[in-house]
A and B are shown apart, each in its own frame.
Chain A
Amino acid sequence: MNQMAKLTWVETKLQFRDWGTVAFGLLLPSVLLVVLAFAYPGFRDPVPELGGLRPVDVYTPIVLVLALVMIGISAIASVLATYRHDGILKRLRTTPVGPARLLAAQLLAQLLVATVGAALAVVAALTVLDVVPPRSWLGVLAGLLLGATSLFGIGLVIGALASSTSVANAIASVTWMPIMLLAGLWFPRDAMPAAMRRVSDFSPGGAGADAMQQAWFEGVVPTSSLGVLAAFALVTGGIAALTFRWD
């Protein structure tokens, strides 16, 4: 096995040994979706304001964003801060492999967990909740991947700037809420006041939810939202690269 594959494999195993965090990222989206659908009155009834869709339909892409946020912000920021604080990245600097590859392996492992979490939510939506299959799988996948890149970028920035794991966790926990608020987790984007809706359009959560909702139910690949996500990924990636310290 080459080094990159081995590093990714090891980092993936390590994620799964931290079962609490992984279970949260893996299961929260699908569990939340199913619980909302069955506990909330009218969640499975068509609503005219949603163009005849049911709230649970509209929520499916939102919990996919939640899957990415849980992993991309909380898990990555925390792992990164720990790896730096504990000298794990520094130790790698003294080997022929270098810490950048460990970082890449860690991101790949997290992406894997987030993807599986999202996939579970999609399966739950399609099988248990009778959500119509996406009209554009490709568009949903594009939204998912670009959404992951931009949200992982935010996690990297937090991990780069935080001096310790607890600081990283604290910043992450105040960051994910506005992102999910703007993604429409507490009330749909269509119900937001105009100004808030505008902010939502340009936020990674809102743009991610919008991209996947449009691809899912209208079958279009929403270039503007994907553009917002790509821009976020570039900016956060750039900030992380400029501020990152190995030790």
Chain B
Amino acid sequence: MAVVEVSELRKVYGGRAVVDGVSFAIEEGEIFGILGPNGAGKTTTVECIAGLRRPDGGTVRVAGLDPQRDGNEVRRRLGVQLQEAKLQGKLKVWEALDLHASFHADPADPAELLDLLGLTDQRNTRFEKLSGGQKQRLSIALALIGKPDVAVLDELTTGLDPKARRDTWALIEQVRDTGVTILLVTHFMEEAQRLCDRLAIIDQGRVVALDSPAGLVSQVADEQRLRFVPSVPLDDTLLTDLEEVTSVTRDGRHVVVSGRGEVVQAVVSVLARERIVAGELRVEQQTLDDAFVSLTGRPLDPNEDTEEVAR
């Protein structure tokens, strides 16, 4: 059964539709991702689900409830970690959890959550003294303290270093294993590919694709690419004659061969027959990145990592 259902959602700001007919359904127990570039309408969609914004069109249902009409009940069922929401700087970790636990009739055990999130050693640390990763983990803990049916995690790992990011991913999988449905908003391809059971790619306020990460990749192409440096000069026709090969190009010393089906097998056999050694051989498969480019016509935030560092 779908725990979150969004259908034909529209939200307009200043005459511009930021969310323009978004529909998806999140099944119980899955990690559902919303992936898209900055400004695609991801956060607005999530804020409509959390009841923070009133939709201009379409419907949102959380466990069958309308977040606008049954706000209190929806807030009991949803645990939300908002993008860049801080806590009072001098609030200690245990105090934050204890306080948020008091908001719920039947909260989770704060000590267990601290343990699950690896914050037990920081329980007496003030929020302002926590590292970025610890702040995010506390934020997740607060989203989980009310034993929610669905945890909404918005841009959870933005600004974290790669190690903290990977730790956070492992944590989210652990949380899912406890039976919580997770809605993950991200603009990191790797994060979506690693964590999500299914994901919706949103671009300019619309869902451009909705499938499992593997499904999205295969939707786009089953093309493979080989790249190698031949030990002796290579006649391209040896390869273009193969029916599996669609193109042969040069990239400096490298020969780049694209093709379908058993193209790797076919190329390697020809090279062996001609006694050519393929140096620096690499086989490149289509990734979610390629799928994204093919679906939206442009890469997802190409300067992402440099921007993060610059900030």
Query: A-side interface residues toward B, CB under 8 Å?
Result: 1-3, 6-7, 10, 13-14, 17-18, 83, 86-88, 90-91, 93-97, 247
Contacts and interface: CB of A to CB of B under 8 A. Distances in A.
B102 A3 contact: yes
B72 A94 contact: no
A94 B142 CA distance: 11
Given A3-B102, A10-B91, A14-B88, A94 B52 contact: yes
A10 B103 CA distance: 13
B232 interface: no
Nearest to A15: B90
Given A10-B95, A90-B82, A91-B82, A97 B88 contact: no
Nearest to A3: B102
Contact of B78 (A2, A18, A94, A247): A94
Given A1-B102, A6-B99, A95 B86 contact: no
Interface residues of B, number: 26
B183 to A, nearest CB: 13
Given A90-B85, A94-B50, A14 B146 contact: no
B101 to A, nearest CB: 10
B87 interface: yes
Given A14-B88, A14-B90, A87-B85, A93 B52 contact: yes
B75 A88 contact: no
Given A7-B99, A86-B87, 16 more contacts: A2-B102, A3-B103, A6-B98, A6-B99, A10-B95, A14-B90, A14-B91, A86-B86, A88-B88, A90-B85, A91-B80, A94-B51, A94-B75, A94-B78, A95-B75, A97-B103
Nearest to B73: A96
A190 B91 CA distance: 46
Contacts of B88: 14, 83, 88
B298 interface: no
B149 to A, nearest CB: 14
Contact of A17 (B75, B90, B142): B90
Contacts of B91: 10, 14
A88 B85 contact: yes
B104 interface: yes
B52 A90 contact: yes
B102 A6 contact: yes
B254 interface: no
5 A-B pairs closest in CB distance = A87-B85, A94-B80, A86-B86, A17-B90, A91-B85
A96 B72 contact: yes
Nearest to B90: A17
A87 B52 contact: no
A4 B211 CA distance: 45
Given A87-B82, A90-B82, A96 B76 contact: yes
B99 A10 contact: yes
B41 to A, nearest CB: 17
Contacts of A2: 102
- Could you say which of B87, B88, B100, B146 has the most chain A C-beta atoms within 10 Å of its C-beta? B88
- Could you say which of A2, A14, A93, A95 has the most chain B C-beta atoms within 10 Å of its C-beta? A95
